[in-house]
């Protein structure tokens, strides 16, 4: 595990507490323990743990459990003064964090350039400069594989559903040949017939969407809990309404495309062929 010494009264340090409390001014050997390590080691708030630091053992009071995905979920946090005393490094630090007033990409790039110049002017060599966006991107890559896998499965399901709808509509055109012939004989235009079959195909797709939406909520929550158990990280579940709307648009478009070829076939059926069909 990795220990980070942070000022307890810092306005920038805002840990995500799973249980317990945050660090407070006056805390000595208090530690905010990573929730994943706590699960692995069966550690709870209020426990006293012994850590080997700088070749010596020291006891720390677990005052809170935090959710932190950085560094493969190995980071825990203690008061900076307490950590400095353990390593005889008072008034020294290895990490500087600051808040930018302007947070657009160009402003952050300019700020990073100015920081580099300031460090070089003071004969200091920084290991790296990171913005919040950089850290967020690295954390996001941990979930990209799972996200892309789910997207591929969703796309495959949509493609298979479209093929199934196309087959169903093709059979529908064949079975309704006489109906098409009757519509033709009373003046039904190709555009009208095309519109009827396209509407029916889209209607089938919308009905499937209406059935899937109520089932997606418990399914998404179950998947979220399974991912959380796999990563030993309780996730914050949020049902995506924009995702629901996006899939509605996708379903309508795919249904229309899947119904287009059968609908075009229906417009090519002549009255004689249709009325003679058995």
Residues 6+ apart with CB under 8 A from 278: none
Residue of 13, 92, 86, 20 whose CA lies nearest to 54: 86
C-alpha 16/C-alpha 18 separation (Å) is 6
For residue 84, the surrounding DSSP H or E stretch is helix 80-87
Q: Is pLDDT of 134 > 80? A: no
Average the pLDDT over 113-134 and give the result: 86
- The residue ranges of every structural domain in the chain are 2-95, 98-129, 140-275
CA distances from 90 to 3, 26, 78, 86, 94 (A): 16, 16, 14, 9, 12
Contact assessment for residue 34 and residue 1, using Cβ atoms and an 8 Å cutoff:
yes
> For residue range 151-189, what is the model confidence (pLDDT) as tens digits?
898 889 888 988 888 888 888 777 777 777 777 777 778
> For residue range 218-270, what is the model confidence (pLDDT) as tens digits?
988 888 888 777 766 667 778 888 989 998 999 999 888 888 888 887 777 66
Average the pLDDT over 24-40 and give the result: 89
Q: Is pLDDT of 31 > 90? A: yes
> For residue range 211-222, what is the model confidence (pLDDT) as tens digits?
999 998 998 888
2-95 under CATH 2.40.40, yes or no: yes
Residue of 59, 233, 47, 254 whose CA lies nearest to 160: 254
Chain-wide mean pLDDT for the chain? 84
């Amino acid at each position: 595990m990795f220990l980070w010494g942070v000022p307890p009264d810092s306005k920038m340090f805002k840990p995500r507490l799973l249980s317990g409390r945050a660090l407070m001014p006056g805390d000595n050997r208090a530690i905010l323990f990573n929730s994943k390590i706590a699960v692995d080691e069966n550690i709870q708030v209020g426990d006293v743990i012994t850590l080997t630091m700088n070749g010596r053992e020291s006891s720390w009071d677990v005052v809170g459990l935090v959710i932190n995905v950085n560094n493969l979920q190995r980071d825990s946090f203690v008061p900076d003064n307490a950590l400095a005393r353990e390593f005889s490094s008072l008034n020294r630090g290895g990490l500087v964090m600051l808040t930018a007033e302007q947070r657009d990409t160009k402003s952050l790039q300019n700020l990073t350039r100015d920081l580099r110049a300031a460090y070089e002017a003071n004969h200091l060599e920084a290991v790296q400069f990171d913005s919040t966006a950089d850290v967020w991107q690295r954390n996001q890559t941990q979930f990209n594989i799972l996200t892309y896998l789910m997207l591929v499965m969703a796309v495959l399901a949509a493609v298979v559903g479209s093929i199934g709808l196309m087959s169903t509509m093709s059979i529908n055109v064949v079975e309704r040949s006489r109906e098409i012939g009757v519509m033709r004989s009373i003046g039904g235009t190709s555009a009208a017939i095309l519109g009827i079959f396209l509407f029916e195909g889209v209607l089938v797709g919308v009905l499937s969407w209406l059935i899937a939406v109520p089932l997606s909520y418990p399914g998404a929550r179950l998947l979220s809990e399974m991912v959380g158990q796999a990563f030993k990280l309780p996730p914050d579940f949020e049902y995506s309404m924009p995702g629901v709307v996006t899939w509605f648009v996708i379903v309508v478009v795919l249904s229309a495309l899947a119904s287009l070829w059968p609908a075009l076939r229906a417009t090519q059926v002549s009255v004689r062929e249709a009325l003679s069909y058995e």
